Amino acid sequence: MATMYYRPGVTSWNTGSAGSWSNTSGGANNGLVPDATTDVVFDFRSAPTCDLVNASDGGGSMVRCKSITTVGWGGNFSASIGDGLDVRGDADLSGVNSYGAGRLQLSGTGTFKPWCSAGSNVAIYAAAQPGVVITMGADLYLASSLTIGYDASATFNANGFNITARSIDINGTVNMGSGTWTVTESAQGAQIVSVATGATINAGTSTLKFSNAAGPTIRLFFNGGGKAFNNVWVDYTSGATLQINDSGNTFSDLKVSAGAVVRFLGGVSLTLGSLTSLGGPSQKITLAGTPSSPSQYTLIKSGGSPGYIDYADISWLNASPGSWLARSSANSGNNTGITFVPGNSNFISFM
């Protein structure tokens, strides 16, 4: 099959005898349904809604196409959990107003331009087959999860764009680029970033930002797979916690907003180029072990120069290489390798 156009006056990807597809824009029913070899087009003549179910190509509830463009459409996809769209090449969904609650699977090499709505609940599976390369063509705003990479052979290029998702799971190679990756999960106990040990992270000049969690009862989990990240920003409020669960990760800079808590599983080590505190005299940041059975964790200062931690409440820290100074900070016990000294700086830097 070549190119098919979604017709006016229909409501579903496959409406059976009514016929949803034409060989021309706004044209007559061709009696066919797209499959993984078809380029599909939604344009200004297409019907404003499309239900992504009832696939007839043997794919169950997932409809399939080779590529898709929606430029000039402005319509809505609808799908239930488990239903959705599988694209084997370029996916230009910039003309989609909303997607619904289903899934989008990018199973072939191509460029992905997502919709602009921030409220979409679709779960995206990017580079969902071996060897696939996905290149972003616009910012992605997602209220649900983003899964990147079927296996270690898949590649995802952020290409300088920003990524926003509720949680992120990574396999394969991810080129984070120069944008901001924002994780918005706020549910207690959720694993919000999980990186497979076989994955590759090329951090570039990106920022990985954790936001939206609020309140002292909220604790969320980071598993970085022992990878190197650039800037990491814990921007939680009212005592919410990011807990780092695995060793071997490196952050060029860890920034912590006032009132936020960073906890570490016992025995975990993290290497830092710098640590920036946004805390102050009335609202310190917190560096601590796990709440139920804390034991020491290690912060390793890269570069060999002294490290400074300001306006922090610190406990269970083993500071390495033992030349860290905590200024205007509280020693809450079980710390080694760090010296608490008076000071009034509101900025943490490593000199």
- Per-residue pLDDT band for 322 (boundaries 50, 70, 90) equals confident
pLDDT at 197: 94
- Of 120, 102, 20, 31, the C-alpha closest to 60 is 102
Highest mean pLDDT out of 224-238, 299-313, 321-335: 224-238
**Cα 217 from chain centroid (whole Å):** 23
Is the pLDDT assigned to residue 56 strictly greater than 60? no
For the segment 196-241, what is each residue's pLDDT rounded down to a tens digit?
Answer: 999 999 999 999 999 999 999 999 999 999 999 999 999 999 999 9
Q: Count the neighbouring beta carbons within 10 Å of the beta carbon of residue 16.
A: 10
Tokens 């034991």 locate to 295
| Cα gap 206→189, rounded to integer Å | 26
Dihedral (Cα; 110, 116, 118, 120), 10-degree rounding: -60
